[in-house]
Amino acid sequence: MEYKSTSRDEILNNLNKFQKEDSKYEDGKILGSMCTSPHPFSKEIFYKFLDSNLGDSGLFKGTKAIEDQVIKNIGSFLSNKNPYGNIVTGGTEANIMAIRAARNFARKYNDISNGEIIVPKSAHFSFEKASDMLDLKLVEVDLDDDFNIDLDFIKNNISDNTIAIVGIAGTTELGLIDPIEELSEIALENNTYLHVDAAFGGFSIPFLKNRGYDLPNFDFSIEGVSSITIYPHKMGLAPIPSGCILFRKKEYLDVMAVNAPYLTNKKQSTIVGTRLGAPAAATLAVMDYFGIEGYENAAVSAMENTQFLKENLIKEGYILTVEPKLNIVSFNHPNISADEMALKLEAKGWLVSVSSYPLAIRIVVMNHITKNHLNDFIKDLKEIN
């Protein structure tokens, strides 16, 4: 077998050819992604920390301190001065960690061996992975006509085997926020774990509330909340892969810990072993650079563009699925199916996504989308019939 060395120029040319095939956020055509272009400063910092491994954190004590600082900083706007947790690859890993903590805690303290998790139908599919990997029964909560969760269904289906209830702060398809206060009451009454998936909403709801938006609370100030998923690599403008899991108690990390004999830290609670430290450093950089005020501005600007898009869609006769609570707009053409619409838009260069429940065009108004892009989009929409 021959695999010969190639010159740097040739390698670069070859990779550039591949990269040209990728869509670019700055073109403003990516309308269906929850990710966006990270801040340039955070990219610079990311590169500086490419050698660090948080999986062997005794060797990278500085980067470990950075991870702890990020968790503390995020806790400061989620009403928890002393949270425990990790920076992980994203929402999926954070949700799996939370459910693993809940399962192990229930096994150890409540003697539950056949666990069940109660999860809204609107939840991200990562909970399906969690239930499969952790061998837990998935009990799906029905939604009402407005796509909100049915609390009575939860009350009627909670059982002695329930190890966790999940609530969402910013659903993937519609950006809706579950009533976490009410879920907390149910969790406390039944002595069970409540995990809040704020992967999407966590980096915008607190900042929008500061600026007067009327949104419900979802954080650790609510007594029953045991853990929160939140990810910097979406509305936090940090580079991928940067997700976070925050726990109220250290015990939740302890019940997942396994021995890691050959490493500098002898116990490990994360799912992943070798973990790049660059996302932690890049996240701290972007958080310090923006501060709360910068994040407030980013969240408000995305909401203003959301409102602009919504009003124009209504003007053009499109049907909105729900009133947007966060920066997601879901809509349908009165006569053309969502799948057909998506294809017609793609032919004009627009990359939207189609949601499953309900079937609709879904636009996530992320920070790379400007009013000019939206004006162009609306112009093209007028030509579709």
| Cα–Cα dist 306/216, whole Å | 19
Cα angle vertex 238, ends 283, 121, to 5°?
110
Single residue of 147, 200, 247, 290 touching ligand PLP by CB under 6 A: 200
- Does the footprint of ligand PLP cover residue 239 (CB under 6 A)? no
Cβ within 8 Å of residue 300, ≥6 positions away = 207, 208, 211
Query: Closest distance between ligand PLP and the C-beta of residue 90, in Å?
Result: 2
Single residue of 57, 63, 80, 92 touching ligand PLP by CB under 6 A: 92
Query: Closest distance between ligand PLP and the C-beta of residue 259, in Å?
Result: 27
- R_g of the chain, CA atoms, integer Å: 22
> Tokens 């903590």 — which residue?
101
- Does the footprint of ligand PLP cover residue 167 (CB under 6 A)? no
| Cα–Cα dist 211/299, whole Å | 10
Single residue of 124, 310, 368, 373 touching ligand PLP by CB under 6 A: 124
Nearer to ligand PLP, 242 or 268 (CB): 242
Q: Binding to ligand PLP (CB under 6 A): which residues in 141-160? A: none
- How many residues form the binding site for ligand PLP (CB under 6 A)? 13
- Does the footprint of ligand PLP cover residue 270 (CB under 6 A)? no
Single residue of 38, 90, 120, 239 touching ligand PLP by CB under 6 A: 90
Cβ within 8 Å of residue 135, ≥6 positions away = 115
Query: Closest distance between ligand PLP and the C-beta of residue 10, in Å?
Result: 34
SS3 6: coil
Q: Binding to ligand PLP (CB under 6 A): which residues in 322-351? A: none
Q: What is the dihedral of CA 106, 108, 109, 110, to 10 degrees?
A: 50
Nearer to ligand PLP, 324 or 381 (CB): 324
Query: Distances from the Cα of 23 to the Cαs of 95, 188, 212, 361, in angstroms?
Result: 28, 46, 35, 19
Q: Binding to ligand PLP (CB under 6 A): which residues in 18-47? A: 34
Cis peptide before 279 (omega within 30 of 0): no
Nearer to ligand PLP, 64 or 124 (CB): 124
- Does the footprint of ligand PLP cover residue 305 (CB under 6 A)? no
Q: Which residues bind ligand PLP (CB under 6 A)?
A: 34, 90-92, 95, 124, 126, 168, 172, 197, 199-200, 243
